[in-house]
Structure 1
Amino acid sequence: MLISTSLLPIVSVAQTPQGNTTNPSFNKAKKIMQKQIYTNSADMKTIYCGAEFNVNKYITLPAGFTTEVYKKRVKRWEAEHVVPAENFGRSFTEWREGAKVCVDSKGKPFKGRKCAEKANKEYRLMQSDLYNLYPAIGAVNAARQNYNYVMLPKTASKDYRSFGSCNMLIDKKDRDAQPPEHARGVIARTYMYFAAVYPKYKMSSQQRQLMTVWDKQYPVTKWECQRAAKIQKIQGNVNPILAARCKNS
């Protein structure tokens, strides 16, 4: 299927790719997702399970979906960081060690995500990058946590957490996740984008190898290009990974 080159501009070879430089608010990013990105009913589906949702963020679970955990979040629309916040957050000293401003009302210092968000604008910009945010069923988002994506061996299936008809698998023992096939290309190109525009984020060689394979196995879709065009207009930066693939598809 031919994808129009007008959806994304050509990126100059000499141009240095940039990430999000305009919106440091995660809450604002979630509202933008709801009101400006996912506005077509055909596109209003969660990344892993394809669950439909409406403008009020009400999720209709797909037939056969089940979960043993996080049941209170099962019909909650949530913004999933495909590249987990912790995976890039730990590169910030505020996350690892805290900061002077990270003291609660009782005088107790804190660190981690809460401190990085409070003390470092660069972190807030990365956390709020729309290219990395996708709608997810809350229970699945919670179960995935910050686990790496992998291809799981079939022999250890008893150790996996599953969601019935939704083919998202969580390895509870080794803390890994295997996404459904329809999400793998999107996930791969999101990881590749993050590595391309944020010097602080480093993919492991194993993760990079897997993302390269998934990128080739599951080519870019028209929907990905359309979504990227919307985000570029709102956020202001080109996604260099999708610009190249949308141009050549």
Structure 2
Amino acid sequence: MKNLSIFTFSLLVALPALSANQTNDSFSKAKRMLEKEVYQHHRETIYCGARFDSQKNIIPPEGFETTKYVKRAKKMEWEHVVPAENFGRAFSEWREGHEACVNSKGKAFKGRRCAEKVNMEYRHMQSDMFNLYPAIGAVNALRQNYNFTMLPDVESDFGTCAMKIDNKKAEPPEGARGRISRTYMYMEESYPKYSMSKQQRQLMQAWDKQYPVDQWECDRAKAIADLQGNENHIVNSRCAALGLY
């Protein structure tokens, strides 16, 4: 019995820690866990710092405005910081469809719906809580799947919230850039299907250095790791270096 225990312990030690989400393939479940177990005491959106209540009603910051998606501006939505389409297109089911992706009328479909239906790896990526952040619905809608860049000559689309969107590109407010950068770096490190362009990687590396982690980002990473079963090594290393762990 003693030998068995030693063997079992040795085997567990030898097993590598999960580097990506392999426990939850439900996007709906991921959102529920974030709402109830991670953001229950930190109800603030990533881009505009808007507060929201337990019913996901937005309390906009002073001076926030939008002329588009006005109804969605009243609700919080969960935003994929690395857009689902940007990693989803790496899957053949998204690009080309699959024999199992046929609706009740016999019509084939592809895209997100097909990838979600038939590919477990895609579902794990889509449900990874490290990549999900609360956002004002209108901001989520207008950002779409655009990559981040710097837009020095563009005005904010949202009044006092310095989120800029132009020509299928987006520039986030300074307060969000560090978290965004480390999310992009985590997704690239964790999932072979996702890879940034050289230009995007250079920008994220620069933002990572310019905008260091704070206590909330570290606490969030710990909470998600406990729920999801894998570590965010990018965030963890930054938190440890600053003595926040």
DSSP 3-state at the match of 2:67: coil
Please, which of 227, 230, 239 is the counterpart of residue 220 of structure 2? Answer: 227
C-alpha change, 1:195 and 1:16, in structure 2 (3 Å) is: farther
Shift of 1:18: 1.4
- Cα distance in 1, alignment partners of residues 163 and 142 from structure 2: 10
1:204 to 177, 182, 197: 197
Distance in 1, matches of 2:60 and 2:159, equals 11
Aligned 8 A contact 2:98 2:114 in 1: yes
In the alignment, is the contact (CA less than 8 A) between 1:65 and 1:164 conserved in 2?
yes
AA of the residue aligned to 2:145: N
AA partner of residue 152 (structure 1): L
Alpha-carbon distance in structure 2 between the residues aligned to 1:204 and 1:197: 16
Point out where structure 2 has 5 or more consecutive residues left out of the alignment. 1-12
Alpha-carbon contact 2:163-2:172 (below 8 Å) kept: yes
Residue pairs, 1:15-164, within 5 angstroms: 18-40=19-41, 43-154=42-153, 157=154, 162-164=157-159
CA deviation after TM superposition for structure 1 residue 76, in Å: 1.3
Give, in angstroms, the shift of residue 153 of structure 1.
Answer: 3.1
How much does 1:16 deviate? 7.0
Q: TM-score, normalised by structure 2?
A: 0.91
| TM-score normalised according to structure 1 size | 0.89
Deviations 1:97-156 (A, max 9, x none): 0001111111110000011001101000000000000000000000000000000131xx
Which residue in the other structure is 1:248 paired with? 241
Counterpart AA for 1:189 = R
SS of structure 2 residue aligned to 1:114:
helix
Q: CA RMSD in A?
A: 1.5
Aligned twin of 1:166: 161
List gaps (5 residues or longer) in structure 1: 1-11
* One-letter amino acid matched to 2:206: V
Aligned mates of 1:183, 1:69 — CA distance in 2: 22
Question: What is the alpha-carbon distance in structure 2 between the residues aligned to residue 16 and residue 210 of structure 1?
Answer: 29
Larger CA deviation: 63-72 vs 183-192: 63-72
CA contact (8 A) 2:17 2:230 kept: no
State the one-letter code of the partner of 2:231: V
Distance across 1 between alignment mates of 2:240 and 2:192: 25
Structure whose CA Rg is larger: 2
In structure 1, how many angstroms separate the alpha carbons of the residues matched to 2:96 and 2:16? 35
In 2: Cα distance, 1:65 partner to 1:243 partner: 33
Give me the whole-angstrom Cα distance separating, in 1, the residues matched to 2:238 and 2:47: 22
**1:6 aligns to what?**
none
Counterpart CA distance in 2 for 1:118 and 1:152 is 37
Distance 1:105 1:191 in 2: 37
Which amino acid counterpart does residue 147 of structure 1 have in structure 2? Y
Q: For residues 130 and 15 of structure 1, what CA distance do their matches in structure 2 show?
A: 20
SS, match of residue 74 in structure 2: coil
Letter of the structure 1 residue corresponding to residue 172 of structure 2: P
Deviation at 1:88, TM superposition (A): 0.3
- Separation (CA, whole Å) in 1 of partners of 2:223 and 2:17: 21
SS of equivalent residue, structure 2 residue 157: strand
Amino acid at match of 2:240: K
Q: Is contact 2:156-2:162 (8 Å) kept?
A: no
